Amino acid sequence: MRTCVSLVVPTYRTEPDHLGMLVESVDRLTLPADAFELIFVDDGSPDDTYARLQKLAAERPHTIARQIPNSGWPGRPRNVGTDQASGEYVLYLDHDDVLFPDGLEHAYAFGHRHQADVVNVKEARTKGWGWGWDTYDQDRAPAPESALADLLPLTPHKLYRRDFLREQHVRFDERRRLLWEDVRFNLLAYARGARVAVFGSRACYHWMKREAGTSTTFGVDVEEKWRNLTDLVRSSADLLPPGPRRDEVLLHLYRGRFLDRLGAWMLTARPQRLEYETERARALAEELIPERLDAGLTPPVRARSRCLRTGDLDTARRLALIERGVSASAVAVAVSWQGPRLLLTIESQLRYEGAPLILTRTADGRLQREPDAAVRAALGQDQLDFAGSADTGLLQFGLKARDTREDWHVGEPGPLALEPAGDRFVIKGRHTAAVEIGTAIFGRPLGQQPYDVSLSTTALDRRFHHAAPGPDGLVLPALIDGTAVIAYTNRSGGLSLDVGERFRTVAAGAASPDATVDLLPSDGGSVLELGVPGVHVHGCTALPGTVRLVPDDDREPVELSATLLGSDGRARIRTAAAAIAPGTYTIQVRFSGRTTKTDHTVTVRSTLSTRFRRLLHRR
């Protein structure tokens, strides 16, 4: 079979545990083992990393281990691995990350079918909400001319067609300790006309953000950072001729690498560091970022740019304080089960320092935030005009998988709009969405793990992504087409879904005082049936467990195999038929590894003729 994908992994002093996790994830791939190869290129590690890689290569088919003299950065090892590769596509992995089992198979098929030069595969990140939120919302075939946004985020964890890399001379810069080498590589692919597909329907790559990493240590060396950033911007400007695509690249770098210094960061930065960074940013912007590009910035970021270009750090600080005070608050209005879905209704509103954010409209039609008055006085009344974005706000629910850290959109977004408040305005909205348990993830069911519900609020050119709040004390168990699901409000006040009963069990409802207890005659003895009240049921469910009958004397408890049943709109626990010795027993149930003790008792008068009673005891 031909090699579809070459997995290229640069290593340097790789932790054994991290390497083991990576290899285990490769072994779980659904892509056939003879359809991919694993290429390790060690960058002259002084420890036993290469010896471990050689052992792996000797024991595994389609695995290659090479070592090169230390180059000081991942660029050269990746190029060496690419030269060694035979796959149709190359995927670059960091040595401490992992792959999802089925993502690579489907991402490759999607890219191959559409003849994409690059497939931007869905990437999960260990920390934070909404990584790649705007990129991975759907699958997109390559457009006639791909946009830079199709490549975001600019990590190297994508599928690159090997022939495209070779024909267009797209390679990593091999200089020692070169920051943002992955950004440079992707911008080079963009400049060479890469046809980019986006594959968002299945997660492929898990970026394991750890406490330390060699690529983030530049933070303590500000001179190195700006030396590299200057080189990045100059070389990026040289990649493309003047025109919209060049402007797109420069604006992306300006917004994300320059103007972020005048946001929340400046409020805690040391004065000397702030002065140094803003002066370097101002000089580089004057050299390479035409002022006309500011028209492509949102009003708050455009105001930052004005402050940077004029050196007005006092006004920039005032604006940063205002931006820090703006937030989106949300209130859970309703959470309920309906058929196979969970309905969520939330109200959200923009606030400033805890109170509703007030906007006013000027006589000439500008829409302005009240807290910005002092900033506008310094920068000009034409600044911070939100008239073009006030009615474009959106509310979007999401799910973040707690184990695998994938982010998924839930339903369609709802509007967040400008509403009158006397002679002024506020921004607020109400949105309802449904989590379809069996089809929530691009038509696939939710996996057996907990999920945290998120809310993305986009308004006035800003996004606030946070946990969706849940009503106090909410616990809503359900049995949906063979799956146990519990919607609940977690300890942080956020709304969560426990799919598969990781932390709670639906059977715990058997302890309710409203539960019914029936002891029914059967050919094999007696069948115990406990009603489980308060459970939403859709379709049919049968989950295995046990019932334990604890006698009121010194006899051993009786263990009965049991099934948690959901059908005909009700939930109950039913044991297998068994001969039960006469006596009075307290009932315990055990499902999903959790034992629930109840106050219910059952009295067996004889093994042939039985009757039941329920006793409720106060504890």
Query: β-strands 570-575, 583-591: how paired?
Result: unpaired
Instruction: Identify the pLDDT of residue 1.
Output: 75
| Contact between 34 and 4 (Cβ < 8 Å) | no
- Classify the C-alpha dihedral 142-143-148-150 as positive or negative: negative
Distance of alpha carbon 40 from alpha carbon 6, whole angstroms: 10
Report residue 402: phi and psi, to 5°: -75, -30
Instruction: Identify the pLDDT of residue 214.
Output: 47
Tell me which residues of the chain have a pLDDT lower than 70.
Answer: 210-220, 607-619
pTM of the model: 0.92
Instruction: Identify the pLDDT of residue 212.
Output: 54
| Contact between 544 and 561 (Cβ < 8 Å) | yes
pLDDT of 167-176, one tens digit each? 999 999 999 9
Instruction: Identify the pLDDT of residue 609.
Output: 40
Report angle CA 121, 123, 125 to the nearest 5 degrees: 170
Kindly tell me the number of DSSP H helices and DSSP E strands found in the chain. 12, 29
Nearest alpha carbon to residue 382 among 391, 390, 392, 372: 372
Classify burial at 102, counting beta carbons within 10 Å of its beta carbon; exposed 0-12, middle 13-18, buried 19 or more: middle
| 3 state SS of 19 | helix
Quote the tokens at residue 147. 């946009």
Distance of alpha carbon 58 from alpha carbon 61, whole angstroms: 8
List helix spans (H) across 220-292.
Answer: 222-239, 244-253, 271-288
243, 300, 382, 412 from 386: Cα distances, Å: 27, 9, 10, 24
